[in-house]
């Protein structure tokens, strides 16, 4: 991987690593577009007020200002870099609703910034890839099911280990908490969200100390969070806890629909995990988190959920459901564990060698013919000995070197050398084609990616 940069938390890639990242991005774009999602891009900055509308994450937001501030600048005018793509997308939908066709299906791949403590899997500047479906006033629940299936397909195309999409429903959780007498459901969810970090015993203490739960209520909340199934049998297990609530029933039915269809189409890749809470307050129904099997300590690589009122204008709301892939987190793990690598570090397939400095223009003619047919080509800058020009191609990772000369009758002749095998053959720049696997730099998966 690229060496540690001078600014911690702002990753940079070497050329061969960037090829791996581009492969991931291109694969995601292809899958998203196959499912009819349109690409958009939103601005990098939002007003502070807009960013902090939902959720308490102000400590992680990077403010943006000129080095010399205006004397009359105010908090309301302050700008900040977006910390995710969902909040800016909600604003985008409201401002452009008259130009969009609903339900609106969008994908968005952009940089985001978050002031976290840098560590593996957590950077201050990173790339996310989001898909969302947003409705005008209402949005069919079926989209919650569809987005889970789309994301499973998208992740399955990447050079990563097996993964599990863990799904829960906040209606289910909130209804259960209300049913046992815990009225501050968001506070309970925030504590349950810490389970994997601090353990059940500490979460139980927190529920009692900060939320006001009795030991019995804390035990009930933890019993719910302990339920995990790969099918819809979680419904029966929740019922066995003996809690009744209408919102609980609604959440159970919705989660059963997601898990039932997803487990049928992608068995083993979906789990109903009733400990999943998601920290952001704008989620209202289905919530998703995704972990790589054997790499659970990396955290979620893809998460999201249903939101009913994040995008709103007056009495008009635009409910949506979306999922976000942490592309930089995934790519960092792919590279650090050698799960995939680029076939070469440059796009060039051919280096056109020079016989002498006077042949540079003719070499450019050859390169032009090759490029016209989609073959990435470089031309040597100086007429060094052929051995040095070949070694230059080797260092660059260019597989073929092109040689041109003039026959006795004055006609040009051409040969191309595969410097890996040493084979050199006659070639015509108007028709020669490299093997398909050498035409572009490709990404090669490791023999196994589950270590």
Binding-site residue set for L-histidine = 84-86, 114, 128, 132, 278, 282-283
Q: Can you give the three-state secondary structure of 59-95, one letter per residue? A: HHCCEECCCCCCCCCCHHHCEEECCCCHHHHHHHHHH
Share in percent of the chain as helix, strand, coil (round to 5): 40, 20, 40
What span, in angstroms and rounded, lies between the C-alpha atoms of 166 and 173? 15
**Burial class of residue 286 (count of CB atoms within 10 Å of its CB; 0-12, 13-18, 19+):** buried
Q: Which helix (H) or strand (E) holds 436?
A: helix 436-439
Name the maximum alpha-carbon separation found in the chain: 99
**Region for residue 259 given its phi and psi (left: phi exceeds 0; alpha: psi -120 to 50; beta: otherwise):** alpha
Q: What is the C-alpha separation between 315 and 403, in angstroms, rounded?
A: 71
Chain centroid, CA 241 distance in Å: 37
Three-state DSSP at 220 gives: helix
Three-class secondary structure of residue 192 per DSSP: helix
Radius of gyration of the chain (CA): 27
Q: In the Cβ-directed half-sphere of 303, how many Cα atoms lie within 13 Å?
A: 16
348 φ, ψ (degrees, to nearest 5): -65, 130
| Residue stretches of the annotated binding site | 84-86, 114, 128, 132, 278, 282-283
């Amino acid at each position: 991987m690229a060496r540690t940069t001078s600014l911690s938390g702002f990753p940079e890639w070497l050329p061969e690593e960037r090829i791996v990242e581009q492969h991931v991005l291109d694969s995601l774009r292809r899958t998203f577009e196959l499912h009819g999602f349109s690409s958009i891009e939103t601005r990098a900055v939002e007003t502070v007020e807009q960013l902090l509308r939902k959720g308490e994450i102000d400590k992680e937001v990077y403010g943006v200002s000129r080095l010399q501030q205006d004397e009359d600048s105010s908090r309301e005018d302050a700008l900040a870099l977006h910390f995710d793509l969902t909040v800016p997308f909600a604003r985008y939908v409201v401002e452009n609703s008259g130009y969009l066709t609903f339900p609106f299906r969008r994908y968005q791949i952009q940089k985001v910034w978050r002031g976290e403590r840098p560590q593996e899997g957590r950077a201050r500047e990173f790339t996310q890839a989001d898909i969302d479906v947003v409705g005008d006033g209402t949005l069919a629940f079926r989209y919650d099911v569809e987005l889970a299936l789309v994301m499973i397909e998208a992740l399955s195309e990447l050079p990563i280990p097996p993964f599990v999409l863990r799904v829960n429903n906040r209606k289910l959780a909130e209804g259960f908490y209300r049913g046992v007498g815990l009225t501050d459901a968001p506070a309970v969810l925030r504590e349950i969200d810490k389970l994997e970090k601090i353990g059940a015993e500490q979460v139980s203490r927190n529920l009692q100390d900060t939320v006001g739960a009795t030991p019995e209520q804390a035990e009930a909340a933890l019993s719910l969070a302990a339920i995990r199934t790969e099918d819809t049998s979680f419904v029966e297990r929740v019922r066995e806890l003996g809690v009744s609530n209408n919102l609980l029933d609604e959440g159970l039915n919705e989660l059963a629909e997601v898990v039932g269809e997803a487990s049928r189409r992608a068995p083993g890749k979906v789990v109903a995990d009733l400990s999943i809470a998601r920290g952001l307050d704008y989620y209202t129904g289905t919530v998703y988190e995704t972990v790589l099997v054997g790499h659970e300590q990396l955290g979620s690589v893809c998460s999201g959920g249903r939101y009913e009122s994040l995008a709103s204008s007056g009495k008009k709301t635009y409910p949506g459901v979306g999922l976000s892939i942490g592309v930089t987190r995934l790519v960092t793990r792919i590279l650090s564990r050698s799960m995939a690598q680029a076939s070469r570090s440059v796009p060039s397939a051919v280096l056109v060698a020079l016989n002498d400095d006077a042949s540079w223009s003719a070499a450019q003619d050859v390169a032009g013919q090759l490029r016209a047919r989609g073959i990435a080509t470089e031309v040597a800058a100086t007429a060094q000995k052929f051995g040095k020009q070949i070694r230059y191609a080797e260092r660059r990772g260019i597989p073929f070197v092109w040689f041109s000369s003039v026959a006795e009758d004055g006609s040009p002749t051409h040969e191309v050398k595969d410097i890996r095998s040493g084979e050199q053959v006659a070639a015509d720049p108007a028709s020669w084609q490299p093997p398909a696997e050498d035409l572009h730099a490709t990404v090669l998966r490791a023999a196994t990616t589950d270590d």
